[in-house]
Amino acid sequence: MTTAAVTLSSVLFAIGVFGVLTRRNAISLLVSVEIMMNAAIINLAAFSRLYEPEAMTGQVFALVGIGIAACEAAVGLALVLAVYRRFGSTDVDSIDLLKG
């Protein structure tokens, strides 16, 4: 089952990357990022069973990871809303004031 888990994780991660690079909407970007994060967390959970299962280290870090993901989603969405207020749009491509 470990191999299955690892395979699933890679596939989901790839899907997430595709989404991140492709979508123009800021919120869609965050959705894709969440997909990526979950893929990583699956990996963590799977590996928890392999090395010292009593210590549950993988699961602890998976929890931490979920916590971090929550924080990131919160702050990210707050940023999206602030940007929306400033620019009137959530199109990531239109926010290019730092263009060199």
Partner 1 sequence: MSEPQNVEQLLFIAFGIVAAGGALYAVVTRSLLRSIIALGAFLTAVAGEFYLLAADFLAVVQIFVYVGGIVVLMLFALMLSASGVRHPLAAIDRPALGAALAYSLGAGVLWGSLTTELPAVGELPADAVDALGRALLGSQLWSFELIGVILLASVITALVIVRKERR
Partner 2 sequence: MTAVLVGMFAAPLLVCIALLVGGALTSRLDETASLRLRALAGWISVAGTFTAFVLALVGLFAVQAGEEPALRAVWFEVGGLEVPFSLRLDGLQAVMALVVSAVALLVHLYSIGYMHGDRDATVYFAELSLFTSAMLLLVLASNFFLLYVAWELVGASSYLLISYYFQRPEAAAAGKKAFLTTRVGDLGLLVAVFAIVSQAGSFDYDAVFAWAAEPGFAGAWAVAVPLLVFAGAVGKSAQFPLHVWLPDAMEGPTPVSALIHAATMVAAGVYLVARAYPLFEAAPISLDVVAYVGAFTALMAASIAVAQSDIKKVLAYSTISQLGFMMAALGAGAPSAGIFHLFSHAWFKALLFLGAGSVIHATGRQTVARLGGLAKRMPVTAWTFAAGGLALAGIPPFAGFWSKEEVLAGLAVHHPVLLGLLLLAGFLTAFYIARLFFLVFFGPEPVDAGEYTAEGTADEHAAAPGGAVAEAGHGHDAAGSGSRGAWSGVKESGWVMSLPLVVLGVASLIAGFVGTEYFGRPLQDLLNLEPAGAAAAHEAPVWLPWVATLAGLAGVGGGWLAYGRRAGRSGGRGFDARLEGALGGAYGVVARGYLVDEFYSRVVIRPFAAAGRFAWRGVDGRVIDGFVDGLARVVIAAGGLVRRLQSGEVRDYLAAMAVGVILVVALALGVL
Q: Which does 40 bind (CB under 5 to 8 A by kind): partner 1, partner 2, none?
A: none
| CA gap 61, 78 in Å, rounded | 25
* Residue 4 or 97 having the CB closest to partner 2: 97
80 binds, among partner 1, partner 2, none (CB under 5 to 8 A by kind): partner 1
Kindly state whether residue 92 participates in binding partner 2, applying the rule CB under 8 A. Answer: yes
**Among 89, 78, 67, which residue's Cα sits nearest to residue 30?**
78
Q: How many residues bind partner 2 (CB under 8 A)?
A: 13
Task: Tell me the three-class secondary structure of 62-93, residue by residue.
Answer: HHHHHHHHHHHHHHHHHHHHHHHHHHCCCEHH
Residues in contact with partner 2 by the rule CB under 8 A: 17, 20-21, 24, 29, 92-93, 95-100
